[in-house]
A and B are shown apart, each in its own frame.
Chain A
């Protein structure tokens, strides 16, 4: 295992209990603020001492509570990119990049700095101070500073959160290509599902200091283990429903007027379930107004974000769902939207869990 993490730690009254392991690649820790994401990185980097457990990188133990091993941060060979970057304001870009290379032969250090400058496109900025850089440039210097000493593991704390949207998109794409050239495992902390999905091979969903789910990216993304994990994975529609029929391994669920077929083991007809559907998987089509409103949803409001148009629809059963409007349909309908809509769930996209979520 490239990375083995299993520890308990606390900060004040907050208790963190994290366990995951990967065989390399990028792991994204996804969770709301206050979930313990940053604390997890700090524990791996050696800046927070766990109460117990074990942390190992490529078989090298960095922390083992039982064996009394606690390798100090400076000897862990773990690169950390801080959320606000923490670039040394009094040092130039080149000196920031070289900071972790002290003790190496001069020519080797110079070569490593030049390699970082070339790899991250920082040419011409070597003599600048951090204050004279744009947000995107600062972020790249911070990544370069962490990578220059060739760490065994790279940790990134919300590396894109301090950037404006266009820079952010460009740098996420840059980082994805940079990542494919790096050998060492990486752990990325984010609260952005799209960012996590775009960059990670493994997802770890963290909430309230506990791991809700972890595993291979698509397995986690398409099959959240609980409604709480689903919510953090961007599933905006979580509705109370009931099993109406079971046939040949597929289960039909009705959630107050929205039906969907899911695979759900041991579900008898009448079982209470929670149905989960992403907004982009709800197909909403205008319904001819028959006057009685049966089986159709009512438009409550719409949010037109330009790149996508989201409808809030009231189901006959009273629950509200979010549906992304198809782009072609959106163009055809124009500004004024009809009041009544047929809603259905795209095939093989619905999720369901036993019991009603609070």
Chain B
């Protein structure tokens, strides 16, 4: 059993999901409040990583942050850091593919919140950030949790783009999905079976935990 792969999958999945939440929830709020027309355009743009083949996405990421790219070489020169063949590359890939799932789900939640709450908060002296934290997020809480669950599910299963940018380095970038692929390729059927089952259970467990959190109720930040 490749425990490193399980640890790495959870590490990559959770980190990517955290970035998705930090970027995606405010992004969803911003899109939900755009004028009609602009809103549809922004929604469609956010969906691009969801509809592109993961390998194509991975290719673009490699072009964007690879060693010979502008960003990649700048990062390497300044910090000696590179996404390529590194677990952070797997995080980047998982983040990009999971973001649309989070944004779409949370955006629908924000759009279903009555605008009157936001307007009431405004007449009561609150600014946009305060309204976001005390009204929008609590009232769309179930959608936020659903978005988190979907994004995590997608992040933890990332394969194509991850392989393109991070490769298959045991202990460093060999996540469960890649380990399963390799086990099947090299004829280790029973190992593939155990890995698949473990990944299924781990993901399921996390989703159930999120579901329970959703049942417990809504945060009442003031």
Contact = CB atoms under 8 A, between A and B. Distances in A.
A305 B135 CA distance: 45
Interface residues of A, number: 28
B124 A90 contact: no
B26 interface: no
A75 B125 contact: yes
Interface string B118-135: 011111111100100011
Interface string A41-81: 00001110000000000000000000000001111101110
A47 B124 contact: no
B124 A91 contact: no
Nearest to A103: B125
Interface string A82-116: 10101011111001001110110000000000000
Contact of B139 (A82, A90, A95, A149): A90
Nearest to B124: A100
Contact of A102 (B122, B123, B126, B135): B126
A76 B222 contact: no
Contacts of B126: 74, 99, 102
Contact of B222 (A78, A89, A91): A91
B135 A88 contact: yes
B139 A74 contact: no
A82 B222 contact: no
Nearest to A89: B139
User: Which of A45, A78, A99, A102 gathers most chain B CB within 10 Å?
Assistant: A99
B46 to A, nearest CB: 27
A47 B218 contact: no
A145 interface: yes
A102 B130 contact: yes
B181 interface: no
Nearest to A91: B220
A75 B122 CA distance: 9
A145 B139 CA distance: 19
B119 A86 contact: yes
Contacts of B138: 90
Contacts of B218: 90
Contacts of B123: 45-47, 73-74, 76, 78-80, 146
A100 B122 contact: no
A74 B127 contact: yes
A102 B124 CA distance: 9
A47 B122 CA distance: 9
Nearest to A45: B123
Given A91-B222, A98-B222, A99-B222, A86 B127 contact: no
B19 to A, nearest CB: 27
B122 A95 contact: no
Given A95-B222, A102-B130, A102-B222, A86 B117 contact: yes
A187 to B, nearest CB: 13
A102 B122 CA distance: 12
B119 A149 contact: no
A39 to B, nearest CB: 13
Given A95-B222, A99-B222, A73 B122 contact: yes
Contacts of A46: 122-123
Interface in B101-129: 114, 116-117, 119-127
Nearest to B122: A73
Contacts of B117: 86, 88
A341 B123 CA distance: 56
A197 B193 CA distance: 79
Nearest to A95: B222
A159 B222 CA distance: 25
Contacts of B127: 74
B217 to A, nearest CB: 8
Contacts of A149: 124-125
Contacts of A100: 124-125
User: Which of A46, A74, A98 gathers most chain B CB within 10 Å?
Assistant: A74
A89 B142 CA distance: 14
A74 B125 contact: yes
A73 B222 CA distance: 19
B220 A102 contact: no
User: Which of B116, B123, B218, B220 gathers most chain A CB within 10 Å?
Assistant: B123
15 contacts: A46-B123, A47-B123, A73-B123, A74-B124, A74-B127, A75-B125, A79-B123, A80-B120, A86-B117, A88-B120, A88-B135, A90-B138, A90-B139, A98-B222, A102-B125
Q: Which 4 residue pairs are nearest across A and B when measured between Cβ atoms?
A: A100-B124, A86-B116, A86-B120, A73-B122
Interface of A: 45-47, 72-76, 78-80, 82, 84, 86, 88-92, 95, 98-100, 102-103, 145-146, 149
